[in-house]
Chains A and B, each alone.
With several copies, the nearest count.
Chain A
Amino acid sequence: MLPSSGGQPPNPRTLDTVKHANETPGTEQPWAELGLKQDEYERIREILGRRPTGAELAMYSVMWSEHCSYKSSKVHLRQFGEKAPDNDALLVGIGENAGVVDVGQGYAVTFKVESHNHPSYIEPYQGAATGVGGIVRDILAMGARPVAVMDPLRFGAADHPDTKRVLPGVVAGIGGYGNCLGLPNIGGEVVFDPCYQGNPLVNALCVGVMKHEDIHLAKASGAGNKVILYGARTGGDGIGGVSVLASETFDSTGPSRRPAVQVGDPFQEKLLIECTLEIFREDLVTGIQDLGGAGLSCATSELASAGSGGMRVELDTVPLRDSSLSPEEILMSESQERMCAIVEPGKVDRFLEICEKWDVIATVIGEVTDGDRLEIFWHGDQIVDVPPRTVAHEGPVYQRPYERPSWQDELQADDAGRLPRPGTPEELREQVLKVVASPNQASKSWVTDQYDRFVQGNTVLAQPEDSGMVRVDEETGLGVAVATDGNGRYAKLDPYAGAQLALAESYRNVAAAGATPLAISNCLNFGSPEDPAVMWQFAEATRGLADGCLALGTPVTGGNVSLYNQTGETAIHPTPVVAVLGVIDDVARRTPIGFASEGHLLYLLGDTREELGGSAWSQVIHDHLGGLPPRVDLEREKLLAEILVSASRDGMVDAAHDLSDGGLVQALVESSLRGGKGARVVVPDGLDPFVFLFSESAGRAVVAVPRSEEVRFTDMCGARGLPAARIGVVDGASLEIQGQFSLPLSELRRAHEETIPALLA
Chain B
Amino acid sequence: MARVVVDVMLKPEILDPQGQAVQRALPRLGFDGISDVRQGKRFELEIDGPVDDAALDRVRKLAETFLANTVIEDFTVKVES
Q: Do chains A and B touch in the complex (CB under 8 A)?
A: yes
> 9 closest A-B pairs (Cβ-Cβ)?
A265-B17, A236-B13, A263-B15, A237-B14, A123-B71, A263-B14, A258-B71, A261-B71, A235-B15
Taking a contact as CB atoms under 8 Å apart, the answer to whether A263 and B10 are in contact is: yes
In the docked arrangement, what's the CA distance between A236 and B70, Å?
16
- In the assembled complex, which residues on chain B have CB atoms less than 8 Å from the CB atom of A500? none
Instruction: Kindly supply a per-residue 1/0 record for chain B positions 15-31, scoring 1 wherever the CB is within 8 Å of any chain A CB and 0 otherwise.
Output: 11100110010000000
Taking a contact as CB atoms under 8 Å apart, the answer to whether B71 and A235 are in contact is: no
Instruction: For A761, give the chain B residue with the smallest CB separation.
Output: B24
In the docked arrangement, what's the CA distance between A255 and B17, Å?
25
- In the assembled complex, which residues on chain B have CB atoms less than 8 Å from the CB atom of A359? 24
Instruction: Kindly supply a per-residue 1/0 record for chain A positions 318-360, scoring 1 wherever the CB is within 8 Å of any chain B CB and 0 otherwise.
Output: 0001100000000000011000000000000000000000010
In the docked arrangement, what's the CA distance between A265 and B71, Å?
17
The distance from the CB of A397 to the nearest CB of chain B, in whole angstroms, is 34
Taking a contact as CB atoms under 8 Å apart, the answer to whether A235 and B70 are in contact is: no
- In the assembled complex, which residues on chain B have CB atoms less than 8 Å from the CB atom of A123? 69, 71-72
Interface residues of A in 227-248 (CB under 8 A from B): 232, 235-237
Instruction: For A235, give the chain B residue with the smallest CB separation.
Output: B15
The distance from the CB of A704 to the nearest CB of chain B, in whole angstroms, is 42
In the docked arrangement, what's the CA distance between A263 and B9, Å?
13
- In the assembled complex, which residues on chain A have CB atoms less than 8 Å from the CB atom of B17? 263-265, 267-268
Taking a contact as CB atoms under 8 Å apart, the answer to whether A322 and B13 are in contact is: yes
A267-B21, A359-B24 known; A262+B15 contact, CB < 8 A: yes
Instruction: Kindly supply a per-residue 1/0 record for chain A positions 192-235, scoring 1 wherever the CB is within 8 Å of any chain B CB and 0 otherwise.
Output: 00000000000000000000000000000000000000001001
Q: Answer whether residue A260 sits at the interface, using C-beta atoms and an 8 A cutoff.
A: yes
- In the assembled complex, which residues on chain B have CB atoms less than 8 Å from the CB atom of A89? none
Q: Answer whether residue A126 sits at the interface, using C-beta atoms and an 8 A cutoff.
A: yes
Q: Answer whether residue A751 sits at the interface, using C-beta atoms and an 8 A cutoff.
A: no
Taking a contact as CB atoms under 8 Å apart, the answer to whether B72 and A265 are in contact is: no
In the docked arrangement, what's the CA distance between A267 and B14, Å?
16
Instruction: For A261, give the chain B residue with the smallest CB separation.
Output: B71
The distance from the CB of A521 to the nearest CB of chain B, in whole angstroms, is 29
In the docked arrangement, what's the CA distance between A263 and B12, Å?
12
Report which residue of B10, B20, B21 has the largest number of chain A beta carbons within 10 angstroms of its beta carbon: B20
Report which residue of A122, A237, A336 has the largest number of chain B beta carbons within 10 angstroms of its beta carbon: A237
* Interface residues in B, total, Cβ within 8 A: 14
- Residues of B at under 8 Å CB distance from A? 10, 12-17, 20-21, 24, 69-72
A122-B71, A123-B71, A126-B72 known; A265+B15 contact, CB < 8 A: yes
The distance from the CB of A323 to the nearest CB of chain B, in whole angstroms, is 12
In the docked arrangement, what's the CA distance between A525 and B12, Å?
34
| 25 pairs from A and B in contact (CB 8 Å cutoff) | A232-B15, A235-B15, A236-B13, A237-B13, A237-B14, A255-B70, A258-B71, A260-B13, A260-B14, A260-B71, A260-B72, A261-B72, A262-B14, A262-B15, A263-B14, A263-B15, A265-B20, A267-B17, A267-B21, A268-B17, A321-B15, A322-B12, A335-B15, A336-B15, A359-B24
The distance from the CB of A552 to the nearest CB of chain B, in whole angstroms, is 43
A263-B16, A321-B15, A322-B13 known; 15 new pairs, CB 8 Å cut-off, are A236-B13, A237-B13, A237-B14, A255-B70, A258-B71, A260-B13, A260-B72, A261-B71, A262-B15, A263-B10, A263-B17, A263-B72, A265-B20, A267-B21, A268-B17
In the docked arrangement, what's the CA distance between A126 and B17, Å?
13
- In the assembled complex, which residues on chain A have CB atoms less than 8 Å from the CB atom of B13? 235-237, 260, 322
In the docked arrangement, what's the CA distance between A118 and B12, Å?
23
The distance from the CB of B47 to the nearest CB of chain A, in whole angstroms, is 20
Instruction: For B70, give the chain A residue with the smallest CB separation.
Output: A255
- In the assembled complex, which residues on chain B have CB atoms less than 8 Å from the CB atom of A235? 13-15
In the docked arrangement, what's the CA distance between A335 and B17, Å?
12
Instruction: For A122, give the chain B residue with the smallest CB separation.
Output: B71
The distance from the CB of B40 to the nearest CB of chain A, in whole angstroms, is 12
Instruction: For A164, give the chain B residue with the smallest CB separation.
Output: B28
In the docked arrangement, what's the CA distance between A265 and B21, Å?
10
In the docked arrangement, what's the CA distance between A18 and B49, Å?
43
- In the assembled complex, which residues on chain A have CB atoms less than 8 Å from the CB atom of B20? 265
- In the assembled complex, which residues on chain B have CB atoms less than 8 Å from the CB atom of A321? 15
- In the assembled complex, which residues on chain A have CB atoms less than 8 Å from the CB atom of B24? 359
In the docked arrangement, what's the CA distance between A88 and B56, Å?
68
The distance from the CB of B54 to the nearest CB of chain A, in whole angstroms, is 23
Instruction: For B21, give the chain A residue with the smallest CB separation.
Output: A267
Interface residues of A in 270-327 (CB under 8 A from B): 321-322
The distance from the CB of A2 to the nearest CB of chain B, in whole angstroms, is 11
Instruction: For A119, give the chain B residue with the smallest CB separation.
Output: B71
Instruction: For B15, give the chain A residue with the smallest CB separation.
Output: A263
In the docked arrangement, what's the CA distance between A263 and B16, Å?
8
- In the assembled complex, which residues on chain A have CB atoms less than 8 Å from the CB atom of B21? 267
- In the assembled complex, which residues on chain B have CB atoms less than 8 Å from the CB atom of A122? 71
Instruction: Kindly supply a per-residue 1/0 record for chain A positions 410-453, scoring 1 wherever the CB is within 8 Å of any chain B CB and 0 otherwise.
Output: 00000000000000000000000000000000000000000000
- In the assembled complex, which residues on chain A have CB atoms less than 8 Å from the CB atom of B12? 322
Instruction: For A265, give the chain B residue with the smallest CB separation.
Output: B17
- In the assembled complex, which residues on chain B have CB atoms less than 8 Å from the CB atom of A260? 13-14, 71-72
In the docked arrangement, what's the CA distance between A267 and B10, Å?
18
- In the assembled complex, which residues on chain B have CB atoms less than 8 Å from the CB atom of A335? 15
In the docked arrangement, what's the CA distance between A255 and B16, Å?
22
Instruction: For A123, give the chain B residue with the smallest CB separation.
Output: B71
In the docked arrangement, what's the CA distance between A262 and B69, Å?
13
The distance from the CB of B14 to the nearest CB of chain A, in whole angstroms, is 5
In the docked arrangement, what's the CA distance between A182 and B6, Å?
32
The distance from the CB of A204 to the nearest CB of chain B, in whole angstroms, is 20
The distance from the CB of A446 to the nearest CB of chain B, in whole angstroms, is 16
